[in-house]
Amino acid sequence: MPAPLHRPPRHPHAWITWLSLSQLVVVLVWWRWGWHWGLPAMLLSHVPVWWGTLKPDSRVFSPVLRRLPTDARQVWLTIDDGPSDDTLAILDLLDRHGMRATFFVIGDRAARRPELIREIVRRGHTLGNHSQTHPQAWFWALGPRQLRQEIARNQSTLAAITGTAPRWFRAVVGLANPFVAAPLREHGLARVAWCARGFDAIASDPRAVVARIERGLAPGAIVLAHEGSPHGRNLEAMTLLVQRLEALGYGTVLPEDLETAEAAPALFCKAP
């Protein structure tokens, strides 16, 4: 039976069991052979935790959607960090080219500009949860209470504006520690990564951004883009990206479009 696209975590606390067992092994090694073996064993036992936290598409703690199961020249366009002053212009651009996207929005920004959130939905796009306050430097290190609040408040904010809570979640900067899985399960959220990105949140050269994204393109690729970045050139990059997608024969597709068809397991895309 192929895995569904939308997969909230089923066992969000399983990591506690294997971490506890690994530490028991460390204690035994330290007791039997001393610190010369015990210390390396302890450090090695923490590698999966760091790998799961710091690798954006790691499935150590929860399922992560990394591409869509299609052989057609279609990509899932995802746009993070809105709503912003770019939102309406991006919507107009997508309308002109007949493309749809998922906007992973920040709850506080959505609360300040609810009319943009409603406009995103009205034009046929979908919304994703990208935390309430976007604590960029520390999201990966937040504890369970803070993470639960970040995720739950975004769900409540968007549900109050649109009447429907999101189904998809993207971690801030893509990094998610073990405590993220429990609130994802609680709210029925599936985590989304990407396999084509241009670093447009910090890079201001649209041509360089699109060139990096192009290296990761493949059928079913999840494309990561941003809006409202301080350098002010996200709209230029998005315009060039849409034009390049068309030139390469790519259209856009949403996972909801594929969920009625037979789903296949999420796979890695080629790295950019």
d(CA 8, CA 183): 10
Q: What is the per-residue burial (b if ≥16 Cβ within 10 Å, else e) of 25-42?
A: ebeebbeeeeeeebeebb
- Residues with catalytic function: 80, 226
Q: How many CA atoms lie within 13 A of 138 on its CB side?
A: 8
φ/ψ of 173, rounded to 5, equals 60, 15
φ/ψ of 232, rounded to 5, equals 75, 15
Whether residue 83 is preceded by a cis peptide bond, meaning omega within 30 degrees of 0, is: yes
